[in-house]
Amino acid sequence: MQLAAYLERIGHSGAVRPDFATLRAIHRAHLLTIPYENLDIHLGRPLVLDQARFFEKLVVERRGGWCFEMNGLLAWALREIGFRVELLAGAVGRAARGDGAEGNHLVLLVELERPYLADVGFGNGFLEPLPLAAGVYHQGFLTYQLEGADGRWVFTNDPCCGPGFDLTLTSRRLTDFAGQCDALQTEPTSGFVRTTVCHRFTPDGIMSLRGAVLRMVRAVGVTTHTLSNAVEFAELLERQFDLNIPHVATLWPAIWQRHQSWLAEQETHERTQGLPVH
């Protein structure tokens, strides 16, 4: 780990030490700088569980990544600073997927004077670390909840940002996530395979690009905008997400086709429910 290069990448110029102030600052800086994105899956580039590759992609190539890459890189950096960090297996969508969801999300546990959950790999989760204690937590205009139940911890995301996840406190190794890492980027039913996704925190909210739809979550409300062509898609990635990816515009035809199919499904659903069709 070239720690100085990572800190420069996220724009952190202050001193670092294994304390909460440093953890909070780095967590915020990472999310405000490095976007969450799964574009390599759609570009046909395998995502691997390798710390050196995390660093090369996110720091040197100035790309974003998904949970295994984002939290894998953060864990490595925090350990270099002197933090005690454990990898935990999270589960997104357990209600629908059952035990098959175990480990489809990587979360970090950071041990300080009290334990904290760190997670820069959920995309639109919490901006700052959360203490591992049951309660309701407010960060800006967003509200989160943590609760313990049946030996698991459950994170409930802000209603504006969608579902959360649950996890256990069993320490894991990076290799323990290999099966999920492979399945999530190859199985046709995986949401990561079906849809391109980019998230990035901004000083006043969160912007999310799912397929052709850009969604902005701010204190004043939620707005959406549908992109119309490949040029707009590539320019938005570069301007808003700081992602300059060669050949990314080639993804647009498939993105637009999926968007049209989704619109058709919505129209069919509205007709069958007797709702006015928009």
- Condensed to tens digits (0 to 9), the pLDDT of residues 55-84 reads 999 999 999 999 999 999 999 999 999 999
What number is the average pLDDT over the span 138-155? 94
pLDDT band, very low/low/confident/very high, at 207 (cuts 50, 70, 90) = very high
- Condensed to tens digits (0 to 9), the pLDDT of residues 88-118 reads 999 999 888 898 999 999 999 999 999 999 9
Tell me, yes or no, whether 132 lies in a domain. Answer: no
Tell me, yes or no, whether 133 lies in a domain. Answer: no
Q: How many whole angstroms separate alpha carbon 277 and alpha carbon 267?
A: 6
What number is the average pLDDT over the span 200-216? 97
Tell me, yes or no, whether 16 lies in a domain. Answer: no
- Condensed to tens digits (0 to 9), the pLDDT of residues 40-63 reads 999 999 999 999 999 999 999 999
Q: How many whole angstroms separate alpha carbon 127 and alpha carbon 211?
A: 23
In the chain the first and final C-alpha atoms are separated, in Å, by 52
Tell me, yes or no, whether 199 lies in a domain. Answer: yes
Tell me, yes or no, whether 229 lies in a domain. Answer: yes
Q: Which residue range is the domain that position 208 belongs to?
A: 191-264
Return the active site residues. 67, 105, 119
In total, the chain counts a number of residues equal to: 278
Tell me, yes or no, whether 198 lies in a domain. Answer: yes
Report the CATH number that the domain containing residue 238 is assigned in CATH.
Answer: 3.30.2140.10
Q: 35 is written with which tokens?
A: 């976007």
Tell me, yes or no, whether 234 lies in a domain. Answer: yes
Instruction: Check residue 96 and give its pLDDT.
Output: 86
Return the CA Rg of the chain.
Answer: 19
Instruction: Check residue 274 and give its pLDDT.
Output: 58
pLDDT at 276 over 80: no
Q: What is the pTM of this model?
A: 0.94
Q: How many CB atoms lie within 10 A of CB 84?
A: 12
How far apart, in Å, are the Cα atoms of 145 and each of 71, 105, 204?
21, 18, 21
Q: What is the mean pLDDT of the chain?
A: 94
Tell me, yes or no, whether 10 lies in a domain. Answer: no
Number of domains in the chain: 1
